Structure 1
Amino acid sequence: MSRLHRSLSLAAVSFAALIAAQSGAQAGGFAIREQSATAQGYSFAGAASGSGYLSSMFWNPAVITMMPGWMSESHLSLIIPRVEIDPNPFLTPTAIFGASGDIGQDALVPAGYGSYQINDRLWIGLSSSSPYGLVTDPRENWAGQAYSRSSKIFSLNINPVIGFKVNNWLSVAAGPSLQYFDIRLKSAVPTPLSVPGTVVRPGQPSGILDGDDVGFGFTAGLTLTPVAGTTIGIGYRSAISHSLEGDFTLPAGAVAPIAIRTPIEASLRTPDQVTVGLSQVISPAMTVHLGFEWTNWSVLKTPLVTNANTGAVVQDLPLNYEDGFFYSLGMDYKLNNQWTVRAGLAYEQSPIDTEIRSTRLPDNDRIWASLGVGYQWSDKLSFDLSYTHIFAKETDIRIVQGHQDFAGLPFVADVDASVDIVSVGLRYRWDDPKVAIPAAPIVRKY
């Protein structure tokens, strides 16, 4: 991609995000699932079948045909992770340097959605989200500093869609997806590198890998209402290939008296994803939701970082994840015309296991437990609030001979991790509900 093309694409992303913010719109691996305060109340059960209202278009764009008139939603999630890596003093030579401290960093994740009904069959919509993100930041000098210091991944995705109601039981939608992706990784570097057997000592400087890119993909989906009270949704988010451009910086003393900055390139492909949802009305007050999600993390493989000038390999980034799976069950109960309560449980099968688990992302299988509440302020305005606690499975790190990260220095540790999430959402209908074009029948009862 040319520098001019890349600059224009990035400007388009930034401009779209700015517009979204000014208009009130703004998961395993390094994915971010928190795109909807509403769906989070169910632990994202039924996200593809419309449990998240308009925000469900992140998983399945076809749900916009369930939204009458002109609508928008804004969601904001506060993610509070707690992750500490405690080295085994008998199996880790550098254990004397101590544990990582809390490497999890609190984050605010915004998401915005809008839809407009053109006629009784056609809708257009737009979403802005951050599908991928990660910030881990251990103490500068700790037992695992040879394998990682801070790690940062940031993304921004803009996704316009067109939805079409084929008939009373089938709707489809699709649209292009523009994604900005940025990555920055730091690790301690022994000085000088040229001395055989040199190991990382406290206070050693950091090597920094930094790169970004804009890539393109698409989303597509459909909703089915085979009988009144039953909604089935299937959504697809495509993989997006990124040709990262940036720099790899070695500190002064590593290979030369001054810092050496090398222009680099690397190819990385974010995974495609299929989400299936089922929402079933049990009574006028109660609806049950089911969800299933498959994420194709195995496409990551081992990206190679190459010198942009010579093509020589500078570094590899061994990921080699397995595919990820997410299973969820939730329900909502309408107390009256204003208040709705929600609850959900989910089990997430991580794409990372002990064979490849790293100090940058010590992920593992986990259980989600969620509660939520919705308040209908008026026929135009409503609010959502949800809370989730994530229980992580007992986790260990074993970077020893045969591990893909092993660099001659054994590192064995236990990981203590949990996550709390609080999300808020606001939904507003801009047109007059009394004179708007009728939408597709909404068979769920809220």
Structure 2
Amino acid sequence: MGTFRGRSIRSFARSGVSAAFFCASVTAASAGAFGIREQSTQAQGLSFAGAASGSGGVSSMFWNPATVTMRPGWVTEQNLSFINLSGRITPEAGTNPAFARLGGSGDIGQGAVVPAGATSYQLNERLWIGITTGAPFGLVTKPRNTWAGEIYGRSSRIFSLAFNPVIGFKVNEWLSVAAGPNIEYFKLTLRQGFLSPINIDPANLPSSGIKADSWGVGFTAGVLITPLEGTAIGVGFRSSVHHDIGGQLILPGPFAALGGDVKAKLNTPEKLSVGLTQAISPVARINFGFEWDNWSRLGEINVLSNRTGGVATVLHLNYKDGYTYSIGGEYDWSPALTVRAGVAYEQSPINDANRTVRLPDGDRVNLSFGGSYRWSEKLTLNLAYSHLFVDKNSIVTRDNPLVPFVGTANGSADIVSVGFRYVFGEPAVVAPAPLVRKF
């Protein structure tokens, strides 16, 4: 038994690492600011309602690591989401006339594939280990190269990859806790038109840009309470991750010497997730969710020149905090088929005071549908679809007072996610999951 257990743990670790390398792909923001919420196909079908209380299956560990204790044995989930963003920025009166004649952005949205995975393994009656891999942050926006807002943005890319191993402990039959380190890679690439005394023709501006990356470490922690039969309450926390970003400021032609190596400090936002799952019949459940993201901690980011020690440029973010409220329900149509739907409202951290052409985000409504088909006792297939309705918003940017930009932004997104859950071998301890009896 000890040999089998050792081999199983090694296989578990390999499955988590393999999933992590699979996650190395382009990502696009679909939550507030440049956050990515697509970590669970099952939870997406509920607009992520109850994700912290286990509605997202094993992948709920992203929101609350204590949900690792909800399934016995060795279980893995892998998810793949395609995010199709669409957005256009139209210049309005108030934009510098020489740039306004260049017209709008065209469609700045870029389709992107977002993988995510989660695996849990039960060691004994009270102890579990697990790992999640995925991209908590991401952004891809790319307007036309020559357009009215080109000096404020020609392309923006943010890529991240996180490894989050956790340990979960079932204190008793109604309380579980878990925690673990969050190891995160963050990469930033920004490009924009470069206006200078020798390059003043708006239709022929060269580009400047920043490329930088960093590794950082934070943590996740959570609590899961099952006080009554059919009731699960979860609270999860993802800490901020501090990044000492290093990279290059790239300037064109004779200005290249003013660029070179740069550095900056960036702290990603904390996330607090609360979920409630309540059975309303033997075959139906209702889920509620709340998320708070501390985007206001980003403030303004000074990019420092390693050569001079001075400020090379400033990233004016100044985001507010983000809040998301969700409700969803699911129904077991048959022993093999479960259907679900949900709706969420998100108050974006981006508003008229801090909106830019790089990320013209706004408040949004997320409407979702999904289902699960139990192919066998070991294999379950998941499918979900979401449409994001984003408010029409205004942009007023005057970082360069000689070239103000005023415009309106329209956007939406369609998201399709597929995934599967697979149970390896037999459960180490045969017991219902989650345990909901209370002494």
Q: Same fold per TM (> 0.5)? A: yes
Q: Return the offset for 1:396.
A: 1.2
What is the correspondence of 1:309-348 to structure 2 with a 5 Å cutoff?
309-348=307-346
Question: Is the Cα–Cα contact under 8 Å of residues 94 and 405 in structure 2 kept in the other structure?
Answer: no
Aligned to 1:20: 19
In 2, distance between residues paired with 1:304 and 1:105?
28
**Residue in structure 2 matched with residue 274 of structure 1 by the alignment:** 272
Question: Is residue 271–residue 292 contact of structure 2 (8 Å, CA) maintained in 1?
Answer: yes
Q: Is the 8 A contact 2:239 2:269 kept in 1?
A: yes
Q: Distance in 2 between matches of 1:22 and 1:164?
A: 28
- Which residue of 62, 65, 70 corresponds with 2:66? 62
Q: Report the Cα distance in structure 2 between the residues aligned to 1:61 and 1:44, rounded to whole angstroms.
A: 15
Q: Which residue number corresponds to residue 50 of structure 2?
A: 46
Equivalent in the alignment of 2:233: 232
Alignment of 1:296-375 (within 5 A): 296-375=294-373
CA shift digits 1:122-172 (9 cap, x unpaired): 000011110000011110000000111100000000000000000011000
Query: CA distance change for structure 1 residues 299 and 86 in 2, over 3 Å: closer, same or farther?
Result: same
Work out whether residues 117 and 437 of structure 1, in 8 Å CA contact, stay in contact via their aligned partners in 2: no
Of the three residues 163, 170, 179, the one matched with 1:165 is 170
Q: Percent identity?
A: 50
Counterpart amino acid of 1:413? Answer: G
Q: CA deviation at 1:67?
A: 1.0
Q: 2:32, 2:259 → 1: CA distance?
A: 33
**1:19 Cα deviation from its structure 2 partner:** 2.1
Q: Distance in 2 between matches of 1:330 and 1:165?
A: 27
Aligned pairs for 1:21-36 (under 5 A) are 27-36=31-40
Q: Deviations over 1:240-296 (max 9, x none)?
A: 01000010011004x3xx665410010011000100000000001110000000000
Counterpart-to-counterpart distance in 1, 2:22 and 2:313: 43
SS for the counterpart of 2:61 is: helix
Q: Does 1:209 align with 2:222?
A: no
Give yes or no for contact 1:38–1:385 (8 Å, CA) kept in 2.
Answer: yes
Q: Does 1:116 align with 2:115?
A: no
Q: For the aligned residues, what is the CA RMSD?
A: 2.1
| Superposed CA offset, 1:179-214 (max 9, x none) | 000001011002436xxxx74511211111111000
Describe the shift of the 1:186–1:17 C-alpha distance in structure 2 as closer, same or farther (beyond 3 A).
farther
Distance 1:92 1:284, change over 3 A: farther
Match of 1:11 in 2: none
Find the counterpart in structure 2 of residue 10 from structure 1: none
Structure 2, unpaired ranges of 5+: 1-13, 26-30
Relative to the length of structure 1, the TM-score reads 0.90
CA distance in 2: counterparts of 1:262 and 1:357, whole angstroms: 28
259 and 308 in structure 1: CA distance in 2 versus 1, 3 angstrom threshold: closer
Q: Secondary structure at 1:315's aligned position in 2?
A: strand
* AA matched with 2:356: S
The answer as to 2:149 corresponding to 1:148 is no
Work out the CA distance in 2 between the residues paired with 1:39 and 1:443.
21
**2:91 matched to 1:87?**
yes
Equivalent-residue separation in structure 1 for 2:270 and 2:201 (angstroms): 38
1 CA distance for matches of 2:359 and 2:192?
14
Task: Look up the match of 1:252.
Answer: 253
Counterpart among 43, 49, 71 of residue 75 in structure 2: 71
CA distance in 2, matches of 1:24, 1:156: 7
In the alignment, the residues of structure 2 paired with residue 267 and residue 117 of structure 1 have an alpha-carbon distance, to the nearest angstrom, of 39
AA in 2 matched with 1:239: S
In structure 2, do the counterparts of structure 1 residues 160 and 420 end up closer, same or farther at CA, with 3 Å as the change threshold? same
In the alignment, structure 1 segments of 5+ residues that lack a partner are 1-14
What is the correspondence of 1:169-184 to structure 2 with a 5 Å cutoff? 169-184=174-189
If the length of structure 2 is used for normalisation, what is the TM-score? 0.91
- Say if 1:65 and 1:439, in contact at 8 Å, map to a contact too: no
How far apart are 1:42 and its partner, in Å? 0.3
Which residue matches 1:425? 419
Post-superposition CA distance 1:76-133 (Å, at most 9, x none):
0000000000111564422110110111110000001111000010000011110000
Q: Distance in 1 between matches of 2:39 and 2:201?
A: 40
**Residues 222, 417 of structure 1: alpha-carbon distance in 2 compared, 3 angstrom cutoff:** same
Contact 2:164/2:183, CA 8 A, preserved across alignment: yes
Alpha carbons of structure 1 residues 399 and 16: separation in structure 2 relative to 1, 3 Å: farther
